[in-house]
Structure 1
Amino acid sequence: MTVKQTDGVKIVTIGGGSSYTPELMEGLINRYDQVPVREIWLVDIEEGKEKLEIVGEMARRMWNASGHDVQVHLTLDRREALKDADFVTTQFRVGLLAARIKDERIPLSYGMAGQETNGAGGIFKALRTIPVILDIVEDMKELCPDAWLVNFTNPSGMVTEAVMKYGHWDKVAGLCNVPVIAMMSEPEAIGKTPEDLTYRFAGLNHFHWHRVWDETGREVTRDLIEAFERLGRTPGMPANIFDVPFYREQLDLMGMIPCGYHRYYYRQQEMLEHMLEEAQSQAGTRAEQVKQTEDELFELYKDPNLDHKPEQLARRGGAHYSDAACETIASLYADKNTHIVLTTRNNGAIPDLPEDVAVEVSTLVGKDGPKVIPF
């Protein structure tokens, strides 16, 4: 499973026409000294061709502005792109945003939470997505058997587990920006910087918990819980989750900080009422809000003078995506041994779950892949 060192790195992004792609390009540009990219292939399907061309031209402008000699290729032919790839990133949405709108509205019509990764909506998306990711894995076995698959396609936990269990592909890392947001935004609540604190995560994708220690080794999890109550909010909540406060007594009893998505269970009624209210309002469901944001982003991306990631991308809900995806690639390639929260094989990190299931946990990532840190 060791990463192959080359004269230059070939990266393939499936779902390359995504509005997230400029953030991915920014992350790779910022880490060029660690990952000397030679070529990037952005892959999409016929229905995504127009967006692929718009975002592809912007990606080329970003690399030209960086001063690095990197070729950006655009294609609808996945197999052409995958040949001899070093890293494959996946960020596609089967059925496009129109399918996500159904994932949200169909459960809501039955009085159930409609959400793209949790509950019924997440199951809908998994059933559409897993057959496609398994086809991609079969192509990789033939065309780039040494490549790492870095998956950001939701529902990331289920998709990553399918790759490992049914695709029989071990060189996979499932990613999420939620732990990154927590580690970057929470420390300020107790007068610390991210460098001052040590985080440990365990659970499933979008359903993890974490504990935190300061630079002296003292656990400060409860200090953070108290600070959140004092602030009346959870710092760095993802843009797509309504910030209903967790019950303080529950947090005290757990002694852990739950991921924002646990609100769909711990505060189910309030979250459902909010989603129903939004769905019936002019704003529409979260998917409909995202569609409007994406339309605005692609208008920006058409600007021939735009050669950097626009600030509006943060409203898309994927802030710090590049920090997760690109740091994983850099850590694998440059053997950095970095602490990264990934969906990976349990291997005893959570002892009451089977060894071979996918869990989202703290890992140390180097050239031989992620090594889980037991919780």
Structure 2
Amino acid sequence: MKLAVVGGGSTYTPELIDGFARLRDTLPVEELVLVDPAAERLELVGGLARRIFARQGHGGRIVTTSDLDAGIDGADAVLLQLRVGGQAAREQDETWPLECGCVGQETTGAGGLAKALRTVPVVLDIAERVRRTNPGAWIIDFTNPVGIVTRALLEAGHKAVGLCNVAIGFQRKFAGLLGIAPVDVHLDHVGLNHLTWETGVRLGGPEGEDILPKLLAVHGEAVATDLRLPRHVLDRLGVVPSYYLRYYYAHDEVVREQRTKPSRAAEVAAMERELLKMYGDPELAEKPALLGKRGGAYYSEAAVDLAASLLGGGAGSPYQVVNTYNKGTLPFLPDDAVIEVQAAVGSSGATPLPVPSVDPLYAGLMANVTAYEDLALQAALHGGRERVFRALLAHPLVGQYAYADALTDQLIAHNREHLAWT
């Protein structure tokens, strides 16, 4: 089995490598190719990756290359984890929206739209080259904004599934609070990427007992603290929202915080510099503890599980939270909307499990953001100032024409080098 990781020079990659090494019985990788144009970073990450495999006794071969076509040739699956524009572009995404009093965030709001506009054309080009070189390969997208990018891939006819680590993070957190194995925790996870709610926590599987009310009664304070939301909000909702919902539920509070502290991009950039120094140490043969603060926790385990299920053999979990077409699962959304829910995953792809009726409190916001994502994708595919403006006006974190106008100009000014139509 051969896998290729596009964006393999990312400081995330040792997390992925560690998962491949530990879970080699689930996903027996014989060749892993790390593809990245940043040769210096790739050399550091590739060296550590080989040492991790050796330390854990994995016999697979790790190859590094800046040649995309060579890297993806013959791959059974291609994982996408790229960041167009790097941390410098992320820093901009998180700062210029604040000038209009809007949240600065790299995956949602105005910053998230900027990321989508930069990213979708690049991902589609990569996917087309995968299709020409190796049409049978699965594409697993971890590149944000995952929902919009996955929809772009699916609409272009690619064999693609989107992946996020929010659900597996909740699964691990809840299992720890309950003192049970993660495999025994099944989430009723519903929504769009970075706009999700845990509406049930079941023991053993989709038909198991829902213990969410008990979980909140006993551990609600701990869960609320993690989400940085008041405990009474969880009690009133009766569900557990993704931490990304804080941008909606406490928008003005978040903006005040962002205006008075360094951006997350600045923090991550500093962390990456330190991580790359560590990766250059020839004695280091495991992922460093600092990587846990970088983000992407449990990404490797989710990726291994998904790839194992898509590539056959039955080693992956039967149900996994993924991003895929709605196809009637949520009747208040179009069939071609990309949703993030539990799905049965196999060699033919992902089939969403049935979802009970969704409270209008969440359904309305999902519908609003789905409409924005549709407009965002049109802007990413076809360009044009008016398309950017319409997407921003539709986003519930913007929503006012004066803000949308000003943010459109800011977005274009800060991203001109990445937008072919400007």
Output the TM-score relative to the length of structure 1. Answer: 0.88
User: 1:221/1:34 Cα in 2 relative to 1: closer, same or farther (>3 Å)?
Assistant: closer
SS, match of residue 297 in structure 2: coil
Corresponding residue of 2:70: 80
Which residue identity is paired with 1:174? G
Mean alpha-carbon deviation: is it higher for 296-305 or for 222-231? Answer: 222-231
Corresponding residue of 2:268: 290
Contact 1:244 1:267 in 2 (8 A): no
1:277-356 → structure 2 map (5 Å cutoff):
277-278=260-261, 284-333=262-311, 334-335=313-314, 336-356=316-336
Corresponding residue of 1:200: 188
Which residue identity is paired with 2:214? D
User: 1:258/1:55 Cα in 2 relative to 1: closer, same or farther (>3 Å)?
Assistant: same
Corresponding residue of 2:376: none
1:58-207 → structure 2 map (5 Å cutoff):
58-165=48-155, 167-169=156-158, 171-190=159-178, 192-207=180-195
1:37 equivalent to 2:29? Answer yes
Q: What do residues 309-338 of structure 1 show as CA deviations (whole Å, max 9, x unaligned)?
A: 111111001111101111111222222352
C-alpha displacement at 1:191, in angstroms? 5.2
Which residue identity is paired with 2:243? G
Output the TM-score relative to the length of structure 2. Answer: 0.79
Pick from 33, 40, 49: which aligns with 2:39? 49
More helix by share: 2
* Alpha-carbon separation, structure 1, partners of 2:115 and 2:277: 27
Pick from 175, 193, 213: which aligns with 2:202? 213
* Alpha-carbon separation, structure 1, partners of 2:223 and 2:123: 41
SS, match of residue 186 in structure 1: helix
1:233 equivalent to 2:224? Answer yes
C-alpha displacement at 1:229, in angstroms? 3.8
* Alpha-carbon separation, structure 2, partners of 1:315 and 1:360: 24
C-alpha displacement at 1:265, in angstroms? 0.3
* Alpha-carbon separation, structure 2, partners of 1:313 and 1:360: 26
Q: What do residues 42-71 of structure 1 show as CA deviations (whole Å, max 9, x unaligned)?
A: 1112xx221111101111112222333322
**Mind listing any 5+ residue stretches in structure 1 that lack a counterpart?**
1-8, 238-242, 279-283
C-alpha displacement at 1:188, in angstroms? 3.7
Contact 2:50 2:62 in 1 (8 A): yes
* Alpha-carbon separation, structure 1, partners of 2:80 and 2:17: 14
User: 1:232/1:145 Cα in 2 relative to 1: closer, same or farther (>3 Å)?
Assistant: closer
Contact 2:8 2:81 in 1 (8 A): yes
User: 1:23/1:226 Cα in 2 relative to 1: closer, same or farther (>3 Å)?
Assistant: same
Contact 2:306 2:345 in 1 (8 A): yes
C-alpha displacement at 1:206, in angstroms? 0.6
Contact 1:222 1:252 in 2 (8 A): no
C-alpha displacement at 1:357, in angstroms? 1.4
Runs of 4+ in 1 over 6 A off after TM superposition: none
* Alpha-carbon separation, structure 1, partners of 2:161 and 2:212: 27
Which residue identity is paired with 1:345? Y
C-alpha displacement at 1:247, in angstroms? 6.3
* Alpha-carbon separation, structure 1, partners of 2:75 and 2:209: 44
* Alpha-carbon separation, structure 2, partners of 1:269 and 1:155: 23
* Alpha-carbon separation, structure 2, partners of 1:28 and 1:315: 20
* Alpha-carbon separation, structure 2, partners of 1:122 and 1:104: 9
Which residue identity is paired with 1:226? A
* Alpha-carbon separation, structure 2, partners of 1:196 and 1:15: 33
* Alpha-carbon separation, structure 2, partners of 1:207 and 1:370: 20
Corresponding residue of 2:8: 16
* Alpha-carbon separation, structure 2, partners of 1:20 and 1:62: 14
Corresponding residue of 2:354: 374
User: 1:257/1:292 Cα in 2 relative to 1: closer, same or farther (>3 Å)?
Assistant: same
* Alpha-carbon separation, structure 2, partners of 1:302 and 1:152: 25
Q: How many residues are treated as equivalent by the alignment?
A: 350
RMSD, matched Cα = 1.9
